[in-house]
Chain A
Amino acid sequence: MTIDVADGFAIRRERFQNTMEFYAPGLKRWETSEWKPTNPRRFLPVSVTGGACALQCDHCQAKVLKGMISVKAEENLYELARRLKAGGTDGILVSGGSTRSGGVPLLVHLDHIARIREELEMKVVVHSGVVSPLIAEGLAKVGVDGVMLDIIGADETIHDVYHLDLTTADFERSLAVLAERGLRIIPHVVLGMHYGEFLGEHNALEMIARHPVSTLIIVVLVPLTGTPMAHIPPPPVDECIDFFSEARAAMPDTKINLGCGRPMGAAKTELDWGAIDHGLNGIAYPAEGAIAYAESRGLTAALYEYCCSLTWVGDDGGGYQTVNISSVADVAEVAR
């Protein structure tokens, strides 16, 4: 199916309000001439495994964990969250290295997550990895604000890049068990994960579109220094932008954001312009000039100092205050 630029943009204008959302969580120190966030510590990532990961996938080899806050040996997740809360943090991403079976070991932390949400009134989003019915049940029981997981649409990528003895069916089953428990699902698709090439992305999109997800996050491979992919070029920008259109058409009523993982420099600028032109709903850490560009296209910029996965929270100055978001059908109706 060939989709031109106008189609993606037209779909977003038809189905969503005339707002382009920009996000700047506290995952890194960041500002542009257009936007300087007021609280760079509002939303922080936490690793429940420290710097350890049993997978050692070809893309990351635990490098991503280096930028996260580790749960120290002498404290638990709740105590860490309380310490972060005292420093101005309103929400955390509970992440970590993976087990050999492709999941993040969250079970032992579930009770703490419940207390963090109830007692500290913080938002908690988790990186689950591949989900078993047991973990889905646990997450649903304690309550989390969202579950993020990468959806991989090619067995070759699962085997070669992630070194997992799984198939795409296991990832689709993860979506299904999360949906069965009524959890808010925030799937990610990493463009170019098969050594810089597109392979399973289109299938991943089809898998995701079969389930009731909250927000689709598209990210683009960033080759990391010190990994087997360090010298692999990221996927071509044009191909990524084509995928934006494809995703918009495949999931016209679902919010789709361009996440924080994407190449820097000129490629980032092109990707951000493409995301705006092709009808995505939001962009994390927009490139210099992206806000002005969105406005030049007739969109109204909304700026949020939190994770782009938290698309259901309000913008009334409270940052994380939850608002009742209309059903997608209602939103579409309003847009008409």
Chain B
Amino acid sequence: MTVQTVSGFAVETDLAYDLERHMWVSRQDSGVVRIGMDPLGLETSGTLAQLSFRPDGGVTRGEPFGSLEAEKFVGPLVSPLSGRILAVNESAMADPGLVERDPYGQGWFIEIAPARLAEELAMLTHGAEAIVEQFGRKIRQYRIEGVLAE
């Protein structure tokens, strides 16, 4: 696990990111892909209150796989990849604070069997240099827009 600090945010740089949807994607040894929320998404959401995930079934990139109610965000959780949902994190549903405390670890959202992994991974941000650059750009954008405190 490689972590770099970008404008105060601890970012794991050996994952892939959908920075528009604030999701990280992690390939597991089994070929399963785990999805969770990135630290910028968490910061701009504020305290998490309620998480819900769709039951097992198909999910399409760009479509919701669940929903979140938080202090500063209420809305759908949008999938960065297409595939079949294999597992949802029931511990995070029972205690959404887990996502805030350990976003890259125990606070993951869902695990899927990806349907178009190579094609869709290419649409995500990966590689340490690109991740740091894109995170930095997003943070600057959010500060200008007032989404993040300046």
Contacts and interface: CB of A to CB of B under 8 A. Distances in A.
A87 interface: yes
Contact of A28 (B72, B76, B149): B72
A19 interface: no
Given A67-B46, A264-B49, A30 B149 contact: no
Interface in A105-143: none
A68 B143 CA distance: 11
A67 B149 contact: yes
Interface in B92-150: 144-147, 149-150
Given A264-B69, A265-B49, A265-B50, A84 B146 contact: yes
A300 B71 CA distance: 28
16 contacts: A28-B46, A28-B74, A29-B73, A29-B75, A29-B147, A30-B73, A31-B76, A41-B145, A51-B149, A66-B149, A67-B71, A68-B146, A69-B150, A70-B149, A264-B49, A268-B69
A72 to B, nearest CB: 6
B8 to A, nearest CB: 13
A265 B144 CA distance: 31
Nearest to B47: A225
Given A30-B74, A265-B69, A68 B145 contact: no
Interface in B50-107: 50, 69-76
Interface in A61-87: 66-70, 72, 83-84, 87
A18 interface: no
Interface size class, chain A: 20 to 34
B72 A69 contact: no
Contacts of A84: 146
Interface in A21-37: 27-32
Contacts of A29: 44-45, 72-75, 147
Contacts of B69: 264-265, 268
Contacts of A30: 73-75
Interface size class, chain B: 20 to 34
Q: Is the interface of B mostly helix, strand, loop or mixed?
A: mixed
Q: Is the interface of A mostly helix, strand, loop or mixed?
A: loop
The listed residue with most A CB atoms (<10 A of its CB), out of B44, B74, B146, is B146
A258 to B, nearest CB: 15
B145 A285 contact: no
B95 to A, nearest CB: 13
Contacts of B47: 225
B46 A70 contact: no
Interface string A152-184: 000000000000000000000000000000000
Contact of B74 (A32, A44, A69, A83): A32
Nearest to A84: B146
A67 B72 contact: yes
The listed residue with most B CB atoms (<10 A of its CB), out of A28, A30, A83, A268, is A28
Contacts of A31: 74-76
Contacts of B145: 41, 87
Given A28-B73, A29-B44, A30-B74, 11 more contacts: A29-B45, A29-B72, A30-B73, A31-B75, A31-B76, A67-B71, A67-B72, A69-B146, A70-B149, A84-B146, A265-B50
B149 A68 contact: yes
Contacts of B70: 264
B150 A32 contact: no
Interface string A262-285: 011100100000000000000001
B68 to A, nearest CB: 10
Contacts of B144: 83
Contacts of A263: 49
Interface string B25-46: 0000000000000000000111
A264 B50 contact: yes
The listed residue with most A CB atoms (<10 A of its CB), out of B69, B74, B75, is B74
Nearest to A65: B149
B98 to A, nearest CB: 14
Given A67-B46, A225-B47, A32 B75 contact: yes
Nearest to A226: B47
A264 B69 CA distance: 7
Contacts of B75: 29-32
Contacts of A83: 144
Contacts of B76: 31
Contacts of A44: 146
Contacts of A67: 46, 71-72, 149
Contacts of A285: 74
